[in-house]
Amino acid sequence: MSHQPYFEGMAPFQPHGPRRYQPWLTVSENRKGVLDIDTVKGCTHGMRFYPRGGCYGECYAARTATRYGIDFSVAVSRQFCGREHLGTLIKKLLPTPARWYRVGTAGDPCHDWTHTIAVLRGLRWTKKTPVVITKHWVVLTDKQIDDLRWVGAVVNTSISALDTDREIRHRLTQRERIRAGGVRSVLRVVTCDFTASEWATTRRETQDHLLSLEPIIDNPLRVRRSNPHVLSGDIRATRRQDSIGGGKLVSLHSPAAYLGTCQACPDQCGVTDGCRVADPDATFTFQ
């Protein structure tokens, strides 16, 4: 599947100042074989809290945006450009073998929950499970959790021992709210190979706790040699040639952590046979 948008022919988006993401919805397949449908590109809140490189100083999406001259700190909601555009995306998605698609690869969908849910509703005709990845910078309302259950979404809460204690408490609280609302809720734990320093020992204990909160996905941190924690000796980095996507240098706490393609991944972003996809003929209303 091409990395180019399926919908073409529109006039290019012309921002003022630094270039921004274009405001219409696209579908792409990344190097790991994941279908990405980002309802929002960019991450205003994440870059506001972590202006130097995004979360953990290692946000791959932020680095990619910078490489292409895009301002990642501006979150842009990506729209359907009419019914024909929606129909084109559905036709392209229907024959693909993947049972699910991912929302939240190069931007956090929490920046526009109402819009994100509207897109998932439109794509219910694909009969594929939406996987929504978020750090919950913006909190879902109870009604929006109901809406995510209606569309059969799986929510991956991105979390790490590298987060502040306040961030961890907040994200675990949202994970429990989502579970209580009947939505499949998975912790997507960004993990590190911590050393024996005082700071690293504390963080390892936190990481062990997060990994015990199943269901979880072990997502090793793709790191640069210039990362301050690598330079200080707090975390170890290993070069893995079999690592696909996001770089070959990985902080690998367990040799069993998966680094390959989506097709062979045992986690499947938390999607299971028991996950329900919304009935496209069912009635849905927004408040």
Residue 4 has pLDDT above 60, yes or no: no
pLDDT over 90, % of the chain: 66
* Higher pLDDT, residue 254 or 151: 151
| C-alpha dihedral sign at 250, 191, 103, 65 | negative
Q: What is the mean pLDDT of residues 45-67?
A: 92
User: Residue 97: what pLDDT?
Assistant: 86
User: Residue 71: what pLDDT?
Assistant: 95
| C-alpha dihedral sign at 286, 121, 119, 259 | positive
Residue with tokens 């939406």: 130
Q: Cβ distance 135 to 157 under 8 Å?
A: yes
Across the chain, what does the average pLDDT equal?
86
Cβ neighbours around 124 below 10 Å, total: 20
What are the start-end ranges of the H helices in the chain?
Answer: 44-49, 60-67, 83-93, 113-122, 142-150, 165-180, 198-211, 228-231
pLDDT digits (tens, 9 = 90+) for 202-226: 999 999 999 999 999 999 999 999 9
Residue 11 has pLDDT above 50, yes or no: no
What 8-state DSSP symbol labels residue 140?
Answer: P
Instruction: Name 41's bridge partners.
Output: 76
Q: What pTM was estimated for this model as a whole?
A: 0.85
What is the residue extent of each domain of the chain? 28-263
Cβ neighbours around 87 below 10 Å, total: 13
pLDDT tier at 28 (50, 70, 90 boundaries)? Answer: confident
Cα(158)–Cα(235) distance, integer angstroms: 20
DSSP 219-260: EEEE--TT-HHHHTTSEE-EE-TT--SS-SEEE-S-TTS--S
Nearest to 188 by CA among 220, 164, 163, 217: 217
Which range has the worst mean pLDDT, 160-169, 184-193, 219-228, 276-285?
276-285
Residue with tokens 């987060």: 163
Which range has the worst mean pLDDT, 51-60, 185-194, 259-268, 277-286?
277-286
User: Residue 240: what pLDDT?
Assistant: 75
- Total residue length of the chain: 287
User: Residue 34: what pLDDT?
Assistant: 80
Residue with tokens 């997060």: 210
User: Residue 246: what pLDDT?
Assistant: 66
pLDDT tier at 232 (50, 70, 90 boundaries)? Answer: very high
User: Residue 20: what pLDDT?
Assistant: 92
**Which residues, other chains included, contact 99 with Cβ-Cβ below 8 Å and sequence gap of 6+?**
128, 129, 268, 271
Residue 265 has pLDDT above 60, yes or no: yes
What are the tokens at 84?
């024909």
**Which residues, other chains included, contact 276 with Cβ-Cβ below 8 Å and sequence gap of 6+?**
152
Answer yes or no: CATH 3.20.20 is held by domain 28-263. Answer: yes
Q: Cβ distance 264 to 248 under 8 Å?
A: no
User: Residue 123: what pLDDT?
Assistant: 95
User: Residue 245: what pLDDT?
Assistant: 67
* Higher pLDDT, residue 256 or 127: 127
Q: Please report, in angstroms and rounded to a whole number, the separation of the first and last CA atoms in the chain.
A: 36
pLDDT digits (tens, 9 = 90+) for 108-132: 999 999 999 999 999 999 999 999 9
pLDDT tier at 83 (50, 70, 90 boundaries)? Answer: confident
Q: What is the mean pLDDT of residues 90-115?
A: 93
Q: What is the mean pLDDT of residues 56-71?
A: 92
